Amino acid sequence: MVAFSAAVAHAQYAPGLTPQEQAKPWSVAATIRGFYDDNYLTLPKTIPGTTPGTFVNGARSSYGIEASPSVAYNHSMADTLISASYVYDMQWYQDREGTVDQSHQFNARMDHEFTERYKMSVGESFVIAQEPTVVDTTVISTPLRVAGNNIHNTATIDGTAVLNKMFDVHAGYANSLYAYQQNAGDESPARSYPSYSAILDRIDQTATVDLRWKVLPETTGVLGYQYEYVNYTSPEYVIYPGKSEFTGAFVPGYLANARNSESDFVYVGADQSFSPKLNASIRLGAQYIDYFNDGMTALSPYADASLTYQYMPQSSAQVGVKHIRNATDVAGITGTSLVLDEESTSAYVSVTHKVTSKFTASMMAQAQFSSFDGGGAIYDGKEENFYILNLDFAYHFTPWLAGDAGYNYSKLNSDLSDRSYARDVVYIGIRATY
């Protein structure tokens, strides 16, 4: 929806920008769609009713209207590229007249080349959203839609130093903050289970350093280390104190910071350029994690790999997979141990194909396979599989005006009885870009 662009000048520093993106320094766009969503609350078909032993319909469907304006800007100089973009999205549901969902996505980046040997990149990403795939774009912490202004902010800085013709050193730091709007007591009557703020509010800091070896002109070997510190910031309980549901005895609860952890990653890998159009990257290693407030440790594999293929002009494909431990919105119940996190494998494929000069089709599919760590026999080792499929078809009437239609599908299969759901969304609309 947003096309980045940059002014063309002699000896510009414009890493990653296509000739189309260098056509002018700014662009604006707007999209208007009508849609139908058969489960916008991401709930099971039936859920427990207010009377014990009864059930009511959980999934709610609705027609709606979506409007999304956006703006992007690039400024390129001899040794610096500055990029920024903002996307606003509003969704009105007929089933909920008087209220709308609103999301904001802001991204900024600066790439600077001090000399041919020293480069630096600084990035900022700020999101306010309700949809799980907007709050998290890779490994997803909660597969459920969460109402409210939920914030995810990520700031990064990366630097590369060329030691000689064969070796480079790369170092980076990332700070990621999550802040969910829902706190304890927000609902009436007061909720007996933890809020999303208690479960998912956190600051995730990651420092990375690796040595890169130019084995061949097209092959770079990588040896790296990464340190991650996760601090859960809510003062609330994630498991409330009270009588055990199993023994009846009073048991203490767990505060959010019981999930705090620090991780050490060690990995090897390679970056391979098979051709100017086909590139691959792989990192394989191990993650050692210490939940120092809970007294638990764990060792698990770590993997991050991707393959990108620009097989035709304006047509490309990308596949990737990542295996890591990540935060989860499942905590446990009174009388059990705490669910500390989940171990996930997330795989994706994305294809954009220019069928004709005016018709473009795109597809994105993602599958995440997760298992919970902790929580006793009820939760420990239980699995959740989350599937996403997005299809979009665009017909360009002019270079500035296009009609689009699409279909989005998501499905959660969970070993926990009250979480599985399926969701279908179809839409049709028009998009203007300048």
DSSP state of 191: P
pTM for the structure as a whole: 0.89
- Tell me the backbone φ, ψ of residue 386, rounded to 5 degrees: -120, 125
pLDDT at residue 254 in the model: 93
Q: Are residues 344 and 326 in contact, defined by beta-carbon separation less than 8 angstroms?
A: yes
pLDDT at residue 192 in the model: 64
pLDDT at residue 233 in the model: 97
39-76 exposure pattern, b = at least 16 Cβ within 10 A, e = fewer:
bbbbbbeeeeeeeeeeeeebbeebebbbebbbebbbeb
Residue numbers of the chain with a pLDDT score lower than 70: 1-23, 49-54, 187-192, 245-246
Strand 150-162 vs strand 242-243: parallel, antiparallel, or unpaired?
unpaired
Which residue type occupies 415? Answer: D
pLDDT tens, position by position, 332-366: 888 888 999 999 999 999 999 999 999 999 999 99
Q: Please give the sequence-ordered ranges of beta strands (E in DSSP) within 327-418, or none if there are none.
A: 339-354, 359-374, 383-398, 401-414
pLDDT at residue 5 in the model: 33
Give dist(CA 12, CA 18) in Å, integer: 13
Q: Helix count (H) and strand count (E) of the chain?
A: 3, 24
pLDDT tens, position by position, 43-95: 998 777 666 666 777 889 999 999 999 999 999 888 999 999 999 999 999 99
pLDDT at residue 15 in the model: 52
pLDDT at residue 355 in the model: 95
Q: How many CB atoms lie within 10 A of CB 24?
A: 15
Give dist(CA 83, CA 433) in Å, integer: 18
Q: Are residues 157 and 201 in contact, defined by beta-carbon separation less than 8 angstroms?
A: no
pLDDT at residue 50 in the model: 64
DSSP state of 355: -
